[in-house]
Structures are given as C-alpha cells and as structure tokens.
C-alpha cells in the first residue's frame, strides 16, 4: 500500500521524530501539548542557488535550514520545542537524502529540537527546504524587536561578516590563500552557529532583539524602525574575526561588505546600560562573546555609523533583498 513518498519518510525522517507529539510521522498532524508556556513560531526557507549552492554537502544544507530557524528562536529568547519540514525535491536520490537526514538528525538531537512532521513534494525547480520551528517562553516572555529604548547598549554576539566572506569565496569573488582561513569562512556560511545557549540570557537581560540574517547594518535599521528609535554605532567596535580583519587590512574585503552581507546568524540586541555587564558575564559563561557596538538614541533617522575619528561612514546597500 505504501508509496515512494511514504517509504522515503519512514526510512529517512521517522528516526528523527523522537517526540511523542510527532506520532512517528504516521498521522496527518503533530501535537504540541498544552503548557504554561507561550509558543514562539518562526518560519524560514532556504533555496538552492540563493541560500546554498547546488553542490554544497547535503549535511550542511540540512543543518543550515534548521539553524536559521533556531537562530530566530534564540533571538526571541525561546527554548526549542520542535520543527516541521517541507522538502521540495526534484527526485528521491538516496545519495543525497541519507546525508541530508543524517545532518538534520544530528542537529535535531544537538539542539533538542525534534522533527514533528512535514511534507515532501516534487518540484522541477531548485531544491527548497522550508522549516517552521517552535520554541517556548514563559507567558509574555518573547523578546520583541520593538522595545529598544534610548540609552540601551547595542550588542551583538560572536563576529560579523565571516559568512558573507565565505559566500564570496564560494562564489569566486574572493581569493583566500590560507586553506584554514578559507575553510573557516566557508564553514560560517554553510553551517551557522545559532546562539541557542544565549536564549535565556537574552530573555533575562535584553530589552529588544533579533537575529542578524540579512546584514548587521540593515537588520539594526529594522530593529530601530520597529522600536521607533535610532542608534549611533562605533564602527571600530564591531567584532570581526582575525580572518575578516586580515582580509580588510589587505584590501581584499571591505568593512561595508562585512556589515551589510548576510548569513551571520548572530544575535543583535539592545540591553539597558546597567544590565550589560551581567549579560556579558552570563554570555561568557555559556561560551559566547557579546560586544557592545554603540547606543540606542532617540529619533527616527537611520542609525549612524562612526569611524575611529567620529566621522560618519555612509553605507550603501544595507541588506540582501530577494526582490
């Protein structure tokens, strides 16, 4: 009675459906049991040729598809609860599906975010993976984009720009001789590090937050717009990896590209001045560096970026747009 589609689901995806609410992927729907938590829902899709390359390893494609959603949950202060998956495939190629499911399963386990359900459809076009992920926060606990206040510090996790440089390497626009640096940058593009461990600290200390997916400069502008505020950023404090610093120093990459490229999947948040030290300490204790890069100010103009001498840097295109 079973079709190719059912076989595919049973073989590759049922092992990932470890939550009882997934009903072993044998039903039409999954259940998220009633709880005292609010449920945070986020959805992000990745498309071949846009968010990943056709010949990227299937494991990393799977990980990126899940991690971009985990990054949203972390920025909202939510603890992962599970996800559903829509997979649009040109065919059922086992040599692709097996490592894809393995990568997805490894991350579902590592981040405690089990597969709850999904749909598999055929397409003649580019491969596409759409994930809707769920996380839990205490009632009214979701951290919004819209609550930044003048005086807050503007804070980012990790380092900015590495993924954009990795993409430039993969696209042949940037030559990097050092193999280790090359691989590290590509790794940041292919497999982002969602700051899941930082979720509780964000909820405790941040007034507003979002994840940096379309470029720091553009995403900061969005956060400011949503909050009805502006910001002043000290460009010299933006955390850059040694690799990015080196490439900028050599003139092979620009600071502008680092802060307007996408795919960082770091957390951008605003933290009241008197809570910043505690936030940084808790972040450090879970292994994540957070850096203050400026301050929220009153006003509705675009955030201003200042160089080491306090002169304004004019940034061009701020963010990636699909259209």
Q: Which two tokens stand for residue 64?
A: 């990126």
- Looking at the Cβ atoms of 92 and 295, the one nearer to its own copies is 92
In angstroms, how far is CA 72 from the centroid of its own chain?
A: 6
Residue that is written with structure tokens 């005086």 in the block: 151
- Looking at the Cβ atoms of 168 and 267, the one nearer to its own copies is 267
- Looking at the Cβ atoms of 223 and 247, the one nearer to its own copies is 223
First vs last Cα of the chain: how many Å apart? 44
**Measured between alpha carbons, how far is 261 from 167 in angstroms, rounded to an integer?**
9
* Shortest distance, position 302 Cβ to its own copies, whole Å: 6
User: Crossing angle of helices 242-249/179-190, nearest 10°?
Assistant: 120
- Looking at the Cβ atoms of 6 and 183, the one nearer to its own copies is 6
* Shortest distance, position 230 Cβ to its own copies, whole Å: 11
Mind giving me the DSSP string for 202-248? HHHH-SEEEEESS-HHHHHHHHHHHHT-EEEEEGGGS---HHHHHHH
CB 97 within 8 A of CB 12: yes
* Shortest distance, position 310 Cβ to its own copies, whole Å: 23
- Looking at the Cβ atoms of 225 and 245, the one nearer to its own copies is 225
- ∠306-201-233 over CA atoms, to 5°? 5
In angstroms, how far is CA 283 from the centroid of its own chain?
A: 17
Q: Which letter does DSSP use for residue 158 in this model?
A: S
**Measured between alpha carbons, how far is 206 from 4 in angstroms, rounded to an integer?**
48
* Shortest distance, position 244 Cβ to its own copies, whole Å: 24
CB 63 within 8 A of CB 97: no
- ∠198-294-72 over CA atoms, to 5°? 30
- Looking at the Cβ atoms of 8 and 235, the one nearer to its own copies is 8
* Shortest distance, position 140 Cβ to its own copies, whole Å: 8
Print burial letters for 43-73: b (CB count within 10 Å at least 16), e (below 16). ebbbebeebbbeebbbbbbbbbbbbbbbbbb
* Shortest distance, position 316 Cβ to its own copies, whole Å: 13
* Shortest distance, position 251 Cβ to its own copies, whole Å: 28
- Looking at the Cβ atoms of 214 and 263, the one nearer to its own copies is 214
Q: Which letter does DSSP use for residue 70 in this model?
A: H
CB 54 within 8 A of CB 118: no
* Shortest distance, position 83 Cβ to its own copies, whole Å: 10
- Looking at the Cβ atoms of 185 and 223, the one nearer to its own copies is 223
- Looking at the Cβ atoms of 248 and 269, the one nearer to its own copies is 269
* Shortest distance, position 44 Cβ to its own copies, whole Å: 5
């Amino acid at each position: 009675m079973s079709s190719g589609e059912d076989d595919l689901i049973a073989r590759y995806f049922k092992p990932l459906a470890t939550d009882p609410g997934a009903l072993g992927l044998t039903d039409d729907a999954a259940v998220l049991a009633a709880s005292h938590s609010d449920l945070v829902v986020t959805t992000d899709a990745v498309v071949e040729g846009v968010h990943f390359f056709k010949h990227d390893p299937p494991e990393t494609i799977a990980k990126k598809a899940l991690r971009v959603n985990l990054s949203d949950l972390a920025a909202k202060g939510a603890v992962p609860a599970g996800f559903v998956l829509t997979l649009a495939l040109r065919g059922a190629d086992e040599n692709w599906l097996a490592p894809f499911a393995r990568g997805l399963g490894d991350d579902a386990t590592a981040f405690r975010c089990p597969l709850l359900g999904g749909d598999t459809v055929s397409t003649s076009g580019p491969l596409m993976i759409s994930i809707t992920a769920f996380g839990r926060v205490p009632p009214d606990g979701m951290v919004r984009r819209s609550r930044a206040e003048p005086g807050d510090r503007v804070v980012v996790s990790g380092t900015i720009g590495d993924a954009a440089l990795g993409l430039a390497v993969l696209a042949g626009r940037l030559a990097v001789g050092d193999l280790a640096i090359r691989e590290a940058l590509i790794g940041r593009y292919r497999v982002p590090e969602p700051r899941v461990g930082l979720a509780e600290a964000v909820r405790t200390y941040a007034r507003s937050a979002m994840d940096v997916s379309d470029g720091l400069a553009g995403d900061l502008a969005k956060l400011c717009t949503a909050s009805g505020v502006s910001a002043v950023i000290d460009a010299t404090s933006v955390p850059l990896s040694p690799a990015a610093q080196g490439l900028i120093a050599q003139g092979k990459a620009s600071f502008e590209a680092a802060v307007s490229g996408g795919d960082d999947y770091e957390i951008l948040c605003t933290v009241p001045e008197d809570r910043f030290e505690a936030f940084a300490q808790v972040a450090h204790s879970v292994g994540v560096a957070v850096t203050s890069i400026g301050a929220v100010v009153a006003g509705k103009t675009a955030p201003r970026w200042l160089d080491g001498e306090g002169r304004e840097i004019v940034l061009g295109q701020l963010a990636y747009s699909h259209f």
